[in-house]
A = this chain, B = another copy of it.
């Protein structure tokens, strides 16, 4: 029988992370201090992050060793399987081969523990006692609370209110691992209170929740801040995904023509695609496709500008495609993708033509997710379902063109906490949001006067 699953051994868990900064055709432009407008240095970041993380954030080394205690915990769910979606291929009648890397088998149900465990480890090693963070759909908050429980750290999670209400089980999961979780905007921070004064019914956003968590870390001596995406060290940690996938594609005797991931802050897409981007930069022909929600179309409709990573303008100015830090995305179910900005590494690579991007509306995304589940079993997270939809479209395009083609996508998480959204979809109650053009124009206009990337 033709192979449909490619398994690595425990020894194949990568021993180093891959740092794409060493290989980029054009370097990422500097991150700027929100007050001074000058490039941020390690000292500026010291109140927020442990020094080991800061050094990774600015490192130009191509390979960075993974500490053994981190690899030891990775073994709980790594190496993750690479599957060939043969039943889906048959259902689509496509000549394309569809492969997916499944990261939903981690105890937190997504790729997020690849970095949460590393971050908790480095904080613990430097004597930090408590970590504050934000979470959208809850994948990151649960991943960090789990990691903190392994290292005996306290953890507080500011969870975007719309997701807090849509996904009560994510909140329970975070609590089960011993962390504290509050809906954001909350009354616990100045940033939260000021949003609530303006709009007591604010659904929240990742930008707001980041402001709250950063304020918590900045105002509590024993507390550092942790982010689940966007930043260089986060994407670095996720490259275990793509490194494993490359080996597994070799086992399959294949190499992808297109590599696909959903993007909110960009970490799961970067994790899968950066090791392939290394090949592309060296001349290999491979398409790297980022998929985002049409309701929050950062790469496809945003502008490449300096913008704050958060709503309250506490975070540094980042050179990225942005919809403006004031933009509050519509309440789509893919809460993890409701972010106004994007990883600056991905943005630079997108600007330089190394990466492509595409957007979808949520109803078509859920339809693909259900089709996928009925062929392949796994019910995708709404975020990951954006990648499923793109992979299916690529496979149908190959069918039209009569081309053999190898498609690889990151099934970054399962949808066990998103079944209310599936229920809405199946009952015909799920709706699409129009492209929020006016709100985006306004929030981008508000960026006038900020530095502009070269």
Contact = CB atoms under 8 A, between A and B. Distances in A.
A80 B371 CA distance: 25
A219 B168 CA distance: 41
Interface residues of A, number: 48
Interface string A70-109: 0011011100000100010000000000000000011111
A4 interface: yes
Given A9-B7, A83-B76, A169-B169, A107 B423 contact: no
A173 interface: yes
A379 B1 contact: no
A10 interface: yes
Contacts of A280: none
Interface of A: 1, 3-5, 7, 9-10, 68, 72-73, 75-77, 83, 87, 105-109, 113, 146, 149-150, 168-169, 172-173, 175-178, 370, 373-379, 414, 416-417, 419-420, 422-423, 426
B107 A377 contact: yes
24 contacts: A1-B72, A4-B72, A5-B75, A5-B76, A73-B377, A76-B83, A76-B378, A77-B377, A105-B105, A107-B373, A107-B377, A107-B379, A168-B420, A168-B423, A169-B169, A169-B416, A172-B420, A173-B379, A173-B419, A173-B422, A175-B422, A176-B426, A177-B373, A416-B417
Stoichiometry (number of copies): 2
A150 B3 CA distance: 18
Given A107-B378, A146-B377, A377-B107, A422 B172 contact: yes
